[in-house]
Amino acid sequence: MRLLKTIFDFYLNASVHVALAVIALMGTTSLLLNIPVNWDLFGFTFFGTMVCYNFIKYGVEAEKYLIVSNKYHKYIQIFSFLCFGIALFFFWQLERKIWISILILGLLSTLYAIPFLPKAKNLRSLGGLKIYIVALIWMGFTVFLPIQDQGRSFCWDIWVLFLQRFLLVVTLVLPFDIRDLERDKKDLKTLPQLLGIPKTRKLGIILTVLVFLLSFLKDDLASAEILSRLVISILLIGIFLSKNDMRRNYFASFWVEGLPILWFGLLWMLDGVF
């Protein structure tokens, strides 16, 4: 039992779960727009996400971003270096036309953690911008890259999907900001810091409903999308209405982060039914 818990904790701490969530959202884009899956892009995004998140969580606290004294973090660092090598392999398999977009999104991710210049602030520390930068990066990787890779034109439905994905990620980040309220520095100006927890929960419900209702603005709307979004929306609203402490072990880091994975699974199953 202890071994299973150790493996599960490493699965969460090494950002494998969040990487699965990212490629799950990328998968929903493929299903919603009926575009083929580029496994090289999925592979790069999966391993690149683990490298990026582990760097943000552990690397920026280490001298020169490389020296790690904590033994457990050292294991994660080694794991991250292996993931980096695999991500590079997939990167070289991708078509050159999306390299620039990936590099821009990668630079934005890096600047999220590292200051622009010595004694300057990183993007994460710019008051109030953290949640929107995260949403922009996730939207870029999970919507823009698959579309650009397939050379799809930007029609009305795609623009609606962009807006939905941005708002969905903002909504998913809120439970984490509530969880980290006592640990976050005041100058981060997260929404729970600015609004308080009750109003942040209400905002989460409003955004969840808005994301669902935006679906009906699309020209091409399938029953599978409506039903899968409805289920995820109900679960999200339940999370914001519940009295559960967001700081509970695994609540945000596993259950909330796992919603995109559940959504992809539901959409994939329902897509085969309708």
Over residues 164-185, the pLDDT tens digits come to 999 999 999 999 888 887 777 7
Q: Which pLDDT score is estimated for 79?
A: 93
Q: What is the pLDDT of residue 169?
A: 96
* Backbone phi, psi, residue 155, to 5°: -85, 180
User: Is residue 59 predicted with pLDDT exceeding 70?
Assistant: no
Residue 70 scores a pLDDT above 80: no
Q: In DSSP terms, which residues pair with 67 in a beta bridge? A: 63
Distance CA 253, CA 247 (A): 9
CA distance readout (Å), 15 to 6, 200, 257? 14, 25, 11
Q: How many residues does this entry show for the chain? A: 274
What integer pLDDT is reported at residue 64 of this predicted model? 45
Nearest C-alpha neighbor of 25 from the set 173, 176, 146, 163: 146
For 2-7, what is the mean pLDDT? 87
Residue 267 near residue 224, CB atoms below 8 Å: yes
**pLDDT for the residue 145:** 96
More confident residue, 112 or 197: 197
- Max distance between CA atoms of the chain, in angstroms, equals 56
Query: Which of the two residues, 71 and 155, has the higher pLDDT score?
Result: 155
The model's pTM is 0.91
Cα separation, 47 vs 70, whole angstroms: 23
- Domain that includes residue 225, residue range: 2-273
Residue 179: other Cβ atoms inside 10 A: 19
Q: Cβ neighbours of residue 246 under 8 Å, at least 6 residues apart?
A: 175, 176, 178, 179, 252
C-alpha dihedral (15, 18, 23, 25), degrees to nearest 10: -170
Give the pLDDT score at 267: 95
- Extract the tokens encoding 138: 């996730």
| More confident of the two residues 175 and 189 | 175
Q: What is the pLDDT of residue 3?
A: 84
Average pLDDT over residues 35-41: 94
Look up residue 67 and give its DSSP letter. Answer: B
**Cβ proximity of 45 and 260 under 8 Å:** no
Considering just the CA atoms, what is the radius of gyration of the chain in Å? 19
* Alpha-carbon gap, residue 27 to 87, rounded angstroms: 18
Tell me the pLDDT tens digit for each residue of 78-92.
899 999 999 999 999
Total number of domains in the chain: 1
